Each structure stands twice: as C-alpha cells, then as structure tokens.
Chain A
Amino acid sequence: DIQMTQSPSSLSASVGDRVAITCRASQSISTYLNWYQHKPGKAPKLLIYAASSLQSGVPSRFSGSGSGTDFTLTISSLQPEDFAAYFCQQSYSTPFTFGPGTTVDIK
C-alpha cells in the first residue's frame, strides 16, 4: 500500500494568512493526488484533483502543486469558512489511501 503523510497535523492561523499544507507519498504517484476539506458533520468536499486542478466551484484562493512524492495545498488568504480539516488522497493505485489530515483552526 502507498502510505500518505501530512504536515503539520494541525496549525493555528488568522484570517488573511497564507497557509501551506504538505502531503508526501511513500512512492511516486505522478500527479494522482487529491485534496479534500472536511467540516464536522458535513460531507467531505473535493478541493483539488490531479495535484493542481481546481474543482469547479472552489474558490481560487485554494491551489495545489507537486508531483511524484511531494505535494502542497496552499490557501492564499485564509477566510473564516476555511477553518476545517484537510486531507490528501492518492488515486494512483488501489487500495486508495488517505493522509492523516491537517486541522486548521483559529489563532
């Protein structure tokens, strides 16, 4: 199985801050890397697919980069509605695996 790690596991930030979350795969997954946002009691939401493609309807302050084993999700200017958990997922090979998640909370 491909193991996914994320850092940091949590971070505190203020509205307007630039935030970066990294995800690393245990082997090369090309650009088969997806990012999701998850708020308690709600359905997870796809933000970025194929490492850098913005899902329709997602604000442009979200961006993704990387290929191979190292990836980054960047929020350019954190908004109040962005305080949530974020997790990455590889869709390169089954079993699909997820990162452990990063919680973004208010500083």
Chain B
Amino acid sequence: QVQLQESGPGLVKPSETLSLTCSVSGGSISSYYWSWIRQPPGKGLEWIGYIYSSGTTNYNPSLKSRVTISVDTSKNQVSLKVSSVTAADTAVYYCAKAGDYYYMDVWGKGTTVTVSS
C-alpha cells in the first residue's frame, strides 16, 4: 500500500524559504492529487494546496503568493516551498494523497518545522 514520508529541515530562519519533500513509496504518483496540509501549534488543520500528477496546481489563496508545489515523477516525490517565512509558518506539515473526489486517503506522519532565528 502507498506510504508517504515527509522530510526537510526542522528549523528555518525568518524570511527564508521552507522546503519539504514528500516521498511516495508502494505506488505511483500518477493519476492522483497530492496535497500539503499544516497544523500550527494549538490550532486546526490548514490545507496549503495540491498538485495533480500532470502538474496542475491549486493553492489556498491565503498562501498562494508564497507557495510552490511541484512533482518529480521520476523520483516519486512531491515538494513544497514556502517563501518569506515567519513564526506563523511554524507547524507540523503533512502530505496526503487524494483521488477524484479529493478525500485524502493516505497521509504521512508529518514533519515539524519551526521558524526561528
């Protein structure tokens, strides 16, 4: 079965770019939507955006100006970049797989990112 593993730096400095990778194992990236979701400490879940395997993207307007999601089908990886980060971007970041009806049937365990100097 498909498994997802998020990875990346746990600490990012303010104003820098946060970069995370979601490695997909046990299945193909093709024909699915791949979302990034985050949860700041003590707060609810926030959908960041998704990418379809063809490369089509859809971002949350609240983050759209700072977010880029990309896919590397040869490596079976999905990437997230958030630019100009502040303390408000401190969160657990999850990647998740979804099908045609956009329910997220597989999630990674998440990776914690702290924005601090």
> Judging by beta carbons under 8 Å apart, are B44 and A91 in contact?
no
Chain A interface: which of B9-17, B56-64, B71-79, B81-89? Answer: B56-64
Q: Which residues on A sit within 8 Å (CB–CB) of B66?
A: none
B47 and A45 form a contact (CB under 8 A): no
**Which A residue's beta carbon lies closest to that of B64?**
A95
Query: In the assembly, what is the distance between CA of A94 and CA of B98, in Å?
Result: 14
Judged by a CB distance under 8 angstroms, whether A50 is at the interface is yes
Measured CA separation A100–B40 after assembly (Å): 12
A46 within 8 A of B: yes
Main secondary structure of the interface of B (DSSP, over half): strand
Check A43–B109 contact: CB distance below 8 A.
yes
Number of interface residues of A (CB under 8 A): 23
Known A43-B110, A98-B45, A100-B44; contact A49-B60, beta-carbon cutoff 8 A: no
A83 interface hit (Cβ, 8 Å): no
Q: Which of A42, A46, A100 has the most CB of B within 10 A?
A: A46
Roughly how many angstroms separate A36 CA and B37 CA in the complex, as a whole number? 14
Q: Are A95 and B60 in contact (CB under 8 A)?
A: yes
Confirm or deny: A7 has a beta carbon within 8 angstroms of a beta carbon on chain B. no
Contacts A94-B58, A94-B60, A95-B47; A45 near B107 (Cβ below 8 A): yes
Check A50 against B44 for contact (C-beta < 8 Å).
Answer: no
Cβ proximity bits A32-55 to B, threshold 8 Å, 1 near / 0 not: 101010000111111001100001
On chain A, the residues within 8 Å of B4 by CB distance are 43
CA of A29 to CA of B70, assembled, Å: 29
Chain A residues, Cβ within 8 Å of B35: 96
Which residues from A are CB-within-8-Å of B103? 34, 46, 49-50, 89, 91
Residues of A within 8 A of B (CB): 32, 34, 36, 41-46, 49-50, 55, 87, 89, 91, 94-101
The 9 closest A-B pairs by CB, nearest first: A91-B102, A49-B103, A98-B45, A95-B60, A43-B107, A96-B47, A34-B103, A100-B44, A44-B107
